[in-house]
Amino acid sequence: MGWPRIAFRASLFLAMVAICIARKVPACFVFGDSLVDSGNNNYLVSLAKANYNPNGIDFGGPTGRFTNGRTVADILDEELGFEGYTPPYLAPTTVWPVIQEGVNYGSGASGILKSTGTMFGGRIYFGAQIDNFAGTRQEIISHIGEPAALELLGQSLFSVTIGSNDLINNYLLPVVSVVEQVLVSPEVFIDSMISSYMLQLTCCLQRLYDMGARKILVVNMGPIGCIPFERDTDSASGNSCADRPNQMARMFNVRLEDLVSQLRSTLQGSIIVYADVYRTVVDVIENYASYGFDNANSSCCSITGNHGGLLPCGPPSVVCSDRSKYIFWDSYHPSDAANSVIAKRLMDGGPDDIRPMNIRQLADL
């Protein structure tokens, strides 16, 4: 290898240690769906894109984020002291040395199941996102060596936010649900999905662990029956959240938390944190006025539907005058203001929001 190269790698390692001390979390690696996608789908042949107006209206313009401003992952970057946001894996600028501060692998329309989102075309399902991380890891090793890379990864935050599309774009999709829900009960579907998820998540988290991940955040499924799309497509919901989607989300979350507990005890030395975003979002919706919101059930960016949930946000949409007063930006996704509430509860919340510790406590370890 030669002394100059050893000295160079040592200097890089010391620099990263200094960053870690100042920031505590040296890098963030983000996995998930459109709730965290920072622009990966821009580089795919896909119908699931947000790289057009008025998306990003409070971000300086469209970036591929499915909201008016920042995602929860972006806000966590700010809270953890990063100067910029974790970049999308597929962006041509996401190369060394950028990747040493983390990479975002999230992809709109993706799911736990490989088949989820097929109707939208290109998307990167969870297992393929882990494959992409393996390539990133190898590139980091090639620049700083394996010991320094493992030190970096061991202190980094890995977050997983995925699963909603496996319900919304499968069992709950109006064009298929009429037949499928007669033939397959929610309990049977959830058992099938969670069984696949358990295998997939166990495999992926084991792979992340084997590749050096130690601090892992797993986010549960939010109250999908409360999004404008479900409110508008569920004839029984009226002005309330749709009951069946929320019931299925709760069933899923019970099984997911059990799985996280099992993995926490199996992957020695790992700290796997379970984020109860379902509870957090329900609290915000039920007590919206106390959080500064005026509207808890309709999309700010809307075209049609009683709650603006029937069509995606796009150039023909009408945008509300004050985005900070709406919990939902579009048919499916929270606004920047709502994401800010969620992120701060993940950073500093108690065990009702995130357990066994919050992200700030996790970062301090």
User: Which pLDDT value is given to residue 4?
Assistant: 43
| Active-site residue, 232 included | no
User: pLDDT value at position 202?
Assistant: 86
Report domain 3-285+337-364's class: alpha beta
Q: What is the pLDDT of residue 208?
A: 96
Marked catalytic residue, from 110, 333, 335, 340: 333
In the chain, where are the structural domains located? 3-285+337-364
Q: What is the pLDDT along the chain (365 residues), one digit of tens a residue?
A: 444 444 445 444 444 444 444 579 999 999 999 999 999 999 999 999 999 999 999 999 999 999 999 999 999 999 999 999 999 999 999 999 999 999 999 999 999 888 889 989 999 999 999 999 999 999 999 999 999 999 999 999 999 999 999 888 776 776 544 445 556 677 777 777 778 777 887 888 899 999 999 999 999 999 999 999 999 988 676 779 999 899 989 989 998 999 999 999 999 999 999 999 999 999 999 999 999 999 999 999 999 999 999 999 999 999 999 999 999 999 999 999 999 999 999 999 999 999 999 999 999 99
Q: Which of the residues 33, 34, 156, 302 is marked catalytic?
A: 34
What span, in angstroms and rounded, lies between the C-alpha atoms of 11 and 27? 18
Give me the DSSP letters along 211-262. Answer: TT--EEEEE----GGGSHHHHHH-TTTTTSPPHHHHHHHHHHHHHHHHHHHH
Specify the pLDDT at position 199.
85
CA–CA distance, 250 with 245 (Å, rounded to integer): 9
Q: How far apart are CA 96 and CA 199, in angstroms?
A: 32
* 143 labelled catalytic: no
pTM of the full predicted structure? 0.91
Catalytic residue status for 261: no
Quote the pLDDT of residue 183: 61
Angle among Cα 163, 209, 348 to the nearest 5 degrees reads 65
Residue 92: how many other CB atoms lie within 10 Å: 6
- Among residues 282, 310, 326, which one has the least CA distance to residue 57? 326
Instruction: Specify whether the CB–CB gap between 57 and 67 falls below 8 A.
Output: no
DSSP class of residue 363 equals: H
In one-letter notation, the amino acid at residue 292 is G
Q: Which two tokens stand for residue 24?
A: 């505590």
CA distance 219 to 278: 9
Which is catalytic among the residues 330, 331, 336, 353? 330
